[in-house]
Amino acid sequence: MKKMERKIDLKTKSVLEKCWIRDNILFLPEQLTPELYKKVNQVLAALDAKWDKRIGGHKLAYDISQELGQILKTGVYYDWRKDTQYYPTPKDVLRFTDYFIPYEYDAHIKILEPSAGEGAILDFLKDEFPNAELSAVEINPKHVSKLKKKGYAVTCGNFLEYNPDLRFDLIVMNPPFEEGVQHIMHAYSLLKVGGTVVSVIDSGIYFRTDGKYREWNQFIKGKYISSIKLPKNAFKESGTNVNTAMIGLTKGKVQMRYFYYNFNGKHIVEISNIPDSLYGITTAVVDVERFLKGENCFPCGSGNDIQLSQQMREEILKLLEDSKKTVQTAA
């Protein structure tokens, strides 16, 4: 994460010094030239202040007085959204985490959200795992304040420099896209044996072999990994159209036991009729209990279902003679 200092000139500073705030609205002291307004607005936009023509001022998302005072004192400001590539995780993306998380509702586990932003992932997991111990790492002081108000244990700083004594059962993350590989690798180092990292990542992991992707391909060798491509424009509401995927990485020996169907000498189950519209999924888990109840079972929790072949249905029914619960499949 590259935090860039942006300097303000004397004219911009003079305007900001004369601004006043009332009822969460910041008012400019005078009519500005287009060039000067652009410079002032860049500073205010970095503080999440948005111009509202109806009220003739900038609406504030929070109390910026302390940050604005620091900017006027130092003559520099940071644009946290741009520098940290902050794109909040939409709810429609969060539902895909069910596919990768191996824990039950009442599990007493330690969960971490790195680069937590305002805590969209933690808010989701808090409902999913009410007995879990939730922690966050976040570099933006404004977001840190919001996370603390929500009651989360927060460390303020760069996640890549975060190295606590404790280790986590589950890390769920939406890291900056440009540094996603490094963030996931670091998160993996913070897992307990048997722990899982679930992360959003750019879809370049499927076809790129240069630069950071070369390091990624070396890193995942011999590890328990599964992935899905997320729908196109999954992060459009957050301000980006980057093509994304979600991956799950489990550290060490996996405790969950799986069934495998022997196909062409490989221990996989082939589902040959997965439509392209189903997000390009190449690896999936079919929950046998859901399957028996006639519920949607692929991908778990997504609300989507596929037509399993009759052969596949028969194989699952045979496997129920044992007491195991899931079937790992790959297309």
- Pairing state between β 25-27 and 57-59: antiparallel
| Residues 189 and 302 grouped into a single domain | no
Burial (CB < 10 A; 0-12, 13-18, 19+), residue 323, is exposed
| Residues 101 and 241 grouped into a single domain | yes
| Domain contains 1 | no
| Residues 54 and 95 grouped into a single domain | no
Domain boundary among 79, 107, 141: 79
- Residues, the chain, total? 331
Q: Decide: pTM greater than 0.75.
A: no
Alpha-helical (H) ranges within the chain are 10-18, 34-46, 65-74, 80-83, 91-94, 120-128, 141-149, 180-189, 211-219, 288-293, 310-319
| Residues 282 and 208 grouped into a single domain | no
| Residues 149 and 219 grouped into a single domain | yes
| Residues 99 and 243 grouped into a single domain | yes
| Residues 98 and 207 grouped into a single domain | yes
| Domain contains 18 | yes
> How far apart (Å, rounded) are the C-alpha atoms in residues 327 and 310?
16
Q: CA 316 → CA 88, 132, 290, 292, distances in Å? A: 38, 33, 12, 9
Determine the pLDDT at residue 301.
36
Determine the pLDDT at residue 232.
85
* Domain containing residue 196: CATH number: 3.40.50.150
| Residues 187 and 316 grouped into a single domain | no
| Residues 149 and 216 grouped into a single domain | yes
Provide the domain limits for residue 303. 258-330
| Residues 187 and 304 grouped into a single domain | no
Determine the pLDDT at residue 58.
95
| Domain contains 50 | yes
Domain boundary among 17, 47, 79: 79
| Domain contains 205 | yes
| Domain contains 146 | yes
| Residues 294 and 229 grouped into a single domain | no
| Domain contains 122 | yes
What distance lies between CA 134 and its chain's CA centroid? Answer: 15
| Domain contains 84 | no
Helix orientation angle between 65-74 and 10-18, rounded to the nearest 10 degrees:
150
Per-residue pLDDT of the chain (331 residues; tens, 9 = 90+): 556 778 999 999 999 999 999 998 999 999 999 999 999 999 998 888 889 999 999 998 778 888 888 889 989 887 766 666 678 899 889 988 888 888 888 889 999 999 998 899 999 999 999 999 999 999 887 788 889 989 999 998 889 999 999 999 999 999 988 888 999 999 999 999 888 999 999 888 888 888 888 888 888 887 777 888 888 888 888 778 888 889 988 887 543 333 333 333 333 333 333 343 333 333 444 554 455 555 555 543 333 444 555 555 665 666 555 434 444 443 3
